[in-house]
Chain A
């Protein structure tokens, strides 16, 4: 009964083995050249704001942008399945997706006008 699931189990095993292998082998094979960048937080290209005490922080604007990114990211995620099922959904789907896009656009207008997109 469980036979059809065997390949999935195998895939799990394979993935786990690869991950374990890569992590385990790296210290032995890789070169060790440290620099400042390597010791920073891994967040592409953002300079953390120094704090007097405790860990340094990213500026609040960074998070704002990140959140805005998520909003538009999700918009895209919704658009993909719609695109796939476009024919089946017909006019109804079109109306709904337009409403959805308009809604997100309103949010965009708000962010834009209230300076959410200005870095400084």
Chain B
């Protein structure tokens, strides 16, 4: 009986931490802390500039660190974190795209101040609120918040330990909930989006946590390799394993915005400040797919026959929801939200392959998709009317008459999302389909059909921009400042170049396609 009353005191071994391999994470977290101190100590007038330097500097330094680590393949912190090719590729993608979203957030010439609210906690519509809306004051906390979220996104896809993965999930989610509510225009919509995202996100986290607990009950461990071993060897009932996996997946699929866990996406994308939406739709999705890939490939490789059908099902559901509902949307941000749901379905098709080609194709897809969608949201920021961004489709009709250049950029991005050849989107789709074809030919055929359907609503917008008559007192095209111009040009150039010369990134993705168990 004594062993019940006295906890066994096993000797504690400090885990070995490969600090250099984790340096990108430390750099970003460090920059975030510096950002918080800047908020505390630097006078308001200088905060904006200082935050920009800290944020972009931190992200760039982390990116350089990822680049230096490119040959790493090891597990560290007692096997809880795996720094490997796929993880680093995802980290690199997240970092590049987050720099671009910082550049979008930093845009101060198209709207007074920026797309970010002056003071988030002021009651909407109060005299203070109205007064602040006209000043160029900005809630600069958005920068450290973004850095914290990025740090979560860097840990999320390299966690081989589910508990750590959960912590990363929360670290990346909590700042995002706040950031969703920071829109300068349409404040109520933005706050509603934040609250919705928070409630549903908490709901999804609970699922994840529950699944984690059940898996622990099954495998006596929350390490993915240990779960894999248990599932290979164990003669005991595997109900816990599958129920646990299912609930775990719910949490992950929610973050990646995959149907039927997508319902938050349109509302949140619409309400959030556009640069934050760009950040969420690219970086969050990439990180979430990194995590899904790791869970399925490292932890559940042996049980693939049992979970493949569910991945098929949610992939089809996602493509259908994204493809069909996207058609009926009239708000461009919602259209892009449904587009992101459809794309998540296509990425899942690549995941089904369960081999190196599958990993590489998913890596390539998330990267190209990230650039296209980031730039598309960037374009959205430029088309404005008196109320801020003009996102209603009717306002975009005849845009090519006003600004052939903006319309042409948007067209290229939409064609890429539609998977039309000579854009990165085509190569990406081709690659995932190719990877999955030998194991899941019917799924690929379905995906091809849905990509045909989805192409319709992208091209519908193209036709609208080039052929329809511009509306009376339509929107104006803002001239972007340097930061938006840089981000837009970069996203656009990558989209085109990866369509015509995809080879370097294809090679990189193929080389990175390793997951250390």
Contacts and interface: CB of A to CB of B under 8 A. Distances in A.
Q: Are chains A and B touching in the complex at the 8 Å CB cutoff?
A: yes
B69 to A, nearest CB: 21
Contacts of A8: 4
Interface in B1-47: 1, 4, 11-12, 14, 33, 36-37, 39-41
Interface string A51-65: 000000000000000
Contacts of B14: 89-90, 92-93
A33 interface: no
A89 B12 contact: yes
B281 to A, nearest CB: 29
A39 B490 CA distance: 64
A50 to B, nearest CB: 18
Contact of A106 (B11, B12, B37): B37
Interface stretch (A21-29, A71-79, A108-116): A108-116
A7 interface: yes
Interface in B32-90: 33, 36-37, 39-41
A112 B40 CA distance: 8
A7 B1 CA distance: 10
A110 B39 contact: yes
Given A88-B11, A93-B14, A109 B1 contact: no
B40 A114 contact: yes
Given A90-B14, A92-B14, A113 B36 contact: no
Nearest to B3: A4
Contacts of A107: 36
A120 to B, nearest CB: 16
A49 interface: no
A88 B15 CA distance: 12
B33 A113 contact: no
Nearest to A113: B40
A106 B33 CA distance: 7
A113 B41 contact: yes
A97 to B, nearest CB: 12
A106 B36 CA distance: 7
Nearest to B144: A110
A1 to B, nearest CB: 13
Interface residues of A, number: 17
Interface residues of B, number: 11
Contacts, number: 32
Contacts of A93: 14
B39 A114 contact: yes
Nearest to A102: B33
Nearest to A84: B9
A8 B4 CA distance: 10
Interface in A78-112: 85, 88-90, 92-93, 103, 106-107, 109-110, 112
A114 B231 CA distance: 52
Contact of A110 (B4, B11, B12, B40): B40
Nearest to B32: A106
A5 to B, nearest CB: 8
A107 to B, nearest CB: 7
A90 B39 CA distance: 35
The listed residue with most B CB atoms (<10 A of its CB), out of A7, A8, A106, A107, is: A106
A4 B1 contact: yes
B12 A109 contact: no
Contacts of B39: 110, 113-114
Contact of B40 (A4, A90, A109): A109
Contacts of B33: 103, 106
Contacts of B4: 4, 8
Contacts of A92: 14
Interface of B: 1, 4, 11-12, 14, 33, 36-37, 39-41
The 8 lowest CB-CB distance pairs between A and B, nearest first, are A113-B40, A92-B14, A88-B12, A110-B40, A109-B40, A106-B33, A110-B36, A4-B1
Given A85-B12, A113-B40, 13 more contacts: A4-B1, A4-B4, A7-B1, A89-B12, A90-B14, A92-B14, A106-B36, A109-B36, A109-B37, A109-B41, A110-B37, A110-B39, A112-B40
20 contacts: A4-B4, A7-B1, A8-B4, A85-B12, A90-B14, A92-B14, A93-B14, A106-B37, A106-B40, A107-B36, A109-B37, A109-B40, A109-B41, A110-B36, A110-B37, A110-B40, A113-B40, A113-B41, A114-B39, A114-B40
